[in-house]
Amino acid sequence: MSVFIIRRLSQSALVLLIMSLLVFFGVFAIGDPIEIFIAADADQAERERAIAALGLDKPIWLQYFYFLANALGGDLGRSFVFNIPAIDLILLRLPATLELAFCAVFLSVAFGIPLGMYAGYRPDSRAAKTIMATSIAGFSLPTFWVGLMMILVFAVELGWLPASGRGELGTFLGIQSSLFTLNGLAHLALPALNLALFNISLVIRLTRAGMRENMPMDYVKFARAKGLTQRRVVFVHVMKNIMIPVVTVIGLEIGQVIAFAVVTETIFAWPGMGKLIIDSINNLDRPVIVAYLLIIVLMFIVINLVVDVLYSVLDPRVRLSDTGK
């Protein structure tokens, strides 16, 4: 186990190093770092001071170390638009994105697993066929277009839910979130559903496949022969076996959801870091772009590491095949 974790850790460190090199060369070798980190309207004295501070007058390998040291120290320049450190700006927007992402994951589990289990339990019923047809639509519909149509139907035509913003924030246990006020929940409903749509379909299909695979197995027949109720067979015995692939996929999807939040946040004007990066690209606010890249890469490496380790805890076969060569 510890060998596995050490191997995965060193792998992650290597990826992080390669990524930092790529970002560095993207910024420093292809682009002009002076233009990237110093605003166009800075005067000559300010430019020279910034060049010295960033070490841009040094040889390139030394510049990389400066870049690394600055990044580790959390200093990646100030946002041109907001005039606060880029990292702080992103960390300020991070909770909104995480809130949206976790609500979306919650919705995909809350809808996906029951619907998928039903579709797999009675695959020939009309309801099951409707569920499967809808899940194909969930895969094929472009997220951004569904978001617009949701605004059109629920916000413009029916007027039930607000179309943009995060609403009032409530504080509970020291955490600020839209989840704790009614107004906030109303604002959260459409974006969270929009972001969850693809994953609901995914979980439905996975659960249905697992259900259909497991129902004819011997252990189910045995459990029935023991005289267990159908409810206990389905919700205890079968469900446990379905959960392994579903949990893994959901873990990996958290990363996907955070990335796709860019689209949903732009449509619903949700003040998260996805909207921030699109605004920064449009405003040429480059320090923010660089900081976003580094933070998101770091986040993905951590998520992948955690999912891999958890998976090896859940399913010992993975660990054995990796170290037993």
Partner 1 sequence: MADLDTPFRRFVADFREDKVAVGAAVLFVAIFAAAMACAYISPQNPYDLRQLDIMDGKMPPGKASMDGLVFWLGSDGQGRDMVSAILYGLRTSFLVAVTSGFIAAAVGTAVGLAAAYYGGWVDTLLMRTVDIKLSFPAILIALVLLAVFGQGTGKIVVALVVIQWAYYARTVRASALVERRKEYVEAAQCLALPQRRILFRHILPNCLPPLIVVGTIQIANSIALEATLSFLGVGLPITEPSLGLLIANGFEYILSGVYWISFFPGVALLVTIVSINLVGDRLRDVLNPRLQK
Binding residues (CB under 8 A) for partner 1: these are 15, 26-27, 30-31, 136-137, 139-145, 148-149, 151-152, 155-157, 163, 255-256, 259-260, 262-263, 266-267, 277-278, 281-282, 289, 293, 296-297, 300, 304
Task: Name the minimum Å distance from CB 119 to partner 1.
Answer: 17
Task: Name the minimum Å distance from CB 140 to partner 1.
Answer: 5
Give yes or no for a contact between 89 and 288, defined as CB atoms under 8 angstroms apart.
Answer: yes
Task: Name the minimum Å distance from CB 258 to partner 1.
Answer: 8
CB-nearer residue toward partner 1: 48 or 279: 279
Task: Name the minimum Å distance from CB 195 to partner 1.
Answer: 12
CB-nearer residue toward partner 1: 141 or 243: 141
CB-nearer residue toward partner 1: 177 or 287: 287
Task: Name the minimum Å distance from CB 69 to partner 1.
Answer: 22
As a whole number of angstroms, the distance between CA 313 and CA 306 comes to 11
As a whole number of angstroms, the distance between CA 86 and CA 285 comes to 9
DSSP 8-state assignment for residue 31: S
As a whole number of angstroms, the distance between CA 169 and CA 145 comes to 28
| 27 CA to centre of own chain | 25
Task: Name the minimum Å distance from CB 74 to partner 1.
Answer: 21
As a whole number of angstroms, the distance between CA 198 and CA 178 comes to 23
Nearest Cα residue to 214 out of 141, 279, 298, 123: 123
Task: Name the minimum Å distance from CB 296 to partner 1.
Answer: 7
As a whole number of angstroms, the distance between CA 260 and CA 93 comes to 15
CB-nearer residue toward partner 1: 152 or 314: 152
Does residue 55 come out as left (phi exceeding 0), alpha (psi in the -120 to 50 range) or beta? Answer: left
CB-nearer residue toward partner 1: 26 or 316: 26
Residue with tokens 């005067």: 43
DSSP 8-state assignment for residue 179: G
> For the CA atoms of the chain, what is the radius of gyration?
24
Nearest Cα residue to 219 out of 199, 206, 234: 234
CB-nearer residue toward partner 1: 238 or 261: 261
CB-nearer residue toward partner 1: 142 or 316: 142
